[in-house]
């Protein structure tokens, strides 16, 4: 499960301030008359409380969003770490905690000063000062709050993955047909296009069997370069391979539209095989309808499956292979208590 999926977003800092102040004056107008001094006191009290509530409601949502990182499993943490380091999140969480306690403290302090105030002028001063300080909590930490908004935008859209179910990661160079395969095999509807780098995020679809769900994971294309040079989009594929690859389908493209020559496609393949030794790797050659170079067992070991997704060739064979390996994976997961 994606721990951010159900968390609510919060407003932009400027909107929080605007909402807090306008709601405060709206609510204070609803106070009925009960003697001049006491009516003013009650109105000022409502204004303080409303601003406090709007500000802290947003801060608490922000806190939950950041805190979900520590509740997430390693797959989600690694995905978040592509853009937000552990250290940054620690700092942000501490800042938010301080902001919330400061707001609590201000509310208590100014409500007590308001109860003791004995003139209308004094009440106005107390309220103005309190609102100013509450609002400035948000205004001074705009950068922090905007960062948490970015975290929410990124994290709440991450796919929902269950580590207890078998997973198949489809990987390979750009434009080989990974997304087309994921769409043909599973419930996913990923965008396909005739140019490289179409897929920029991880997507998941499912094959539903009688006993469990197999997660089929589409990944961004991998370039032929070492891990240390991989960009943020490629790192998403690496994170999926690291955590979800019970089975890896590595896809080759022998067509005239191939992004890489054979040597480079093989280099990525070999890197994946050696980096993820526990996975079952299924080499597939797609686009055999327009095959230009032959990719066979002279260069790739293992049982290659030859596909034309365009013409529906080889898909049943591949599905059969996935199902039989998944049965093994699933019974192993049950035995090891991963479910
Ligand atoms: N001729 C032919 N074209 C195919 C076949 N499978 C996919 N394509 C085409 O290849 C192009 C790339 O397909 P995608 O599924 O987007 O490839 P991808 O690997 O997901 O690409 P990125 O997300 O950019 O890495 C599209 O134009 C597909 O229509 C096939 O079997 N034969
Ligand atoms: Mg794609």
CATH 1.20.120.1190 maps onto the chain at 13-155
Residue 248 reports pLDDT greater than 80: yes
Secondary structure (3-state) at 281: strand
- Please give the Cα distance from 253 to 306 (Å, whole number): 10
Q: Does domain 13-155 have CATH number 1.20.120.1190?
A: yes
Q: Distance between alpha carbon 161 and the CA centroid of its chain, in Å?
A: 11
| CA 83–ligand 1 middle distance (angstroms) | 28
Please provide the average confidence, as pLDDT, over all residues in the chain: 96
Choose one of 192, 258, 295 to mutate for the ligand 1 pocket test, by most ligand atoms within 8 angstroms of C-beta: 192
pLDDT in the model for residue 33: 83
Choose one of 173, 174, 180 to mutate for the ligand 1 pocket test, by most ligand atoms within 8 angstroms of C-beta: 180
Q: Is 289 in the pocket of ligand 1 (CB under 6 A)?
A: yes
pLDDT in the model for residue 34: 82
pLDDT in the model for residue 338: 59
194 phi and psi angles, rounded to 5 deg: -85, 25
Q: Is residue 173 within 8 Å of 267, Cβ to Cβ?
A: no
Q: Is residue 164 within 8 Å of 211, Cβ to Cβ?
A: no
- Flag whether the pTM goes above 0.85: yes
pLDDT in the model for residue 333: 82
- Please give the Cα distance from 36 to 138 (Å, whole number): 33
Residue 339 reports pLDDT greater than 80: no
CATH 3.40.50.300 maps onto the chain at 167-335
| CA 218–ligand 2 middle distance (angstroms) | 7
- Per residue in 205-227, pLDDT tens? 999 999 899 999 999 999 999 99
- Per residue in 138-175, pLDDT tens? 999 999 999 999 999 999 999 999 999 999 999 999 99
- Split at pLDDT 50, 70, 90, the class of 336 is confident
Stronger pLDDT, 19 or 333, i.e. the higher one: 19
pLDDT in the model for residue 329: 86
Query: If you take atom 26 of ligand 1, which residue's CA is the nearest one?
Result: 194
Q: Is 292 in the pocket of ligand 1 (CB under 6 A)?
A: no
Q: Which two tokens stand for residue 122?
A: 């004094």
Per-residue pLDDT, averaged over 308-313, amounts to: 97
pLDDT in the model for residue 160: 96
- Per residue in 171-193, pLDDT tens? 999 999 999 999 999 999 999 99
> Per the CATH hierarchy, to which homologous superfamily does domain 167-335 belong?
P-loop containing nucleotide triphosphate hydrolases (3.40.50.300)
DSSP symbols for 45-97: HHHHHHHHHHHHHHHHHHHHHHHHHHHS-HHHHHHHHTTS-HHHHHHHHHHHH
- Parallel, antiparallel, or unpaired for β 247-252 and 213-218? unpaired
| CA 190–ligand 1 middle distance (angstroms) | 11
Q: Is 197 in the pocket of ligand 1 (CB under 6 A)?
A: yes
């Amino acid at each position: 499960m994606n721990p951010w999926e159900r968390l609510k977003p919060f407003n932009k800092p400027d909107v929080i301030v605007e909402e807090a102040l306008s709601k405060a004056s709206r609510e204070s107008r609803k106070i009925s008359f009960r003697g001049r001094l006491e009516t003013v006191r009650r109105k000022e009290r409502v204004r303080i409380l409303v601003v406090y509530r709007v500000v802290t409601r947003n801060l608490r949502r922000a806190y939950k969003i950041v805190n979900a990182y520590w509740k997430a499993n390693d797959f989600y943490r690694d995905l978040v770490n592509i853009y937000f380091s552990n250290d940054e999140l620690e700092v942000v969480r501490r800042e938010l905690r301080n902001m919330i306690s400061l707001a609590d403290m201000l509310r208590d302090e100014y409500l007590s000063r308001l109860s003791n105030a004995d003139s209308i002028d004094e009440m106005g001063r107390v309220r103005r000062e309190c609102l100013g300080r509450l609002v400035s909590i948000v205004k001074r930490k705009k950068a922090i709050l905007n960062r948490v908004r970015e975290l929410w935008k990124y994290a709440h859209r991450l796919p929902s993955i269950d580590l207890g179910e078998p997973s198949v990661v489809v990987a390979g160079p750009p434009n080989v047909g990974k997304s087309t395969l994921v769409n043909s095999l599973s419930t996913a509807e990923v965008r396909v296009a005739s140019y490289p780098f179409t897929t920029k995020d991880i997507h998941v679809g499912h094959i539903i069997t009688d006993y469990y769900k197999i997660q089929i994971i589409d990944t961004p294309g991998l370039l032929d370069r070492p891990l240390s040079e991989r960009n943020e989009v490629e790192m998403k594929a690496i994170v999926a391979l690291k955590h979800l690859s019970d089975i890896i389908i590595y896809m080759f493209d022998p067509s005239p539209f191939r992004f890489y020559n054979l040597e480079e496609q093989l280099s990525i393949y070999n890197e994946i095989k050696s980096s993820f030794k526990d996975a079952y790797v299924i080499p597939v050659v797609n686009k055999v309808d327009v095959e230009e170079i032959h990719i066979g067992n002279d260069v790739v070991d293992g049982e290659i499956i030859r596909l034309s997704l365009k013409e529906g060739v080889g898909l049943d064979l591949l599905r059969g292979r996935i199902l039989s390996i998944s049965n093994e994976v699933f019974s192993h997961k049950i035995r090891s208590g991963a479910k």
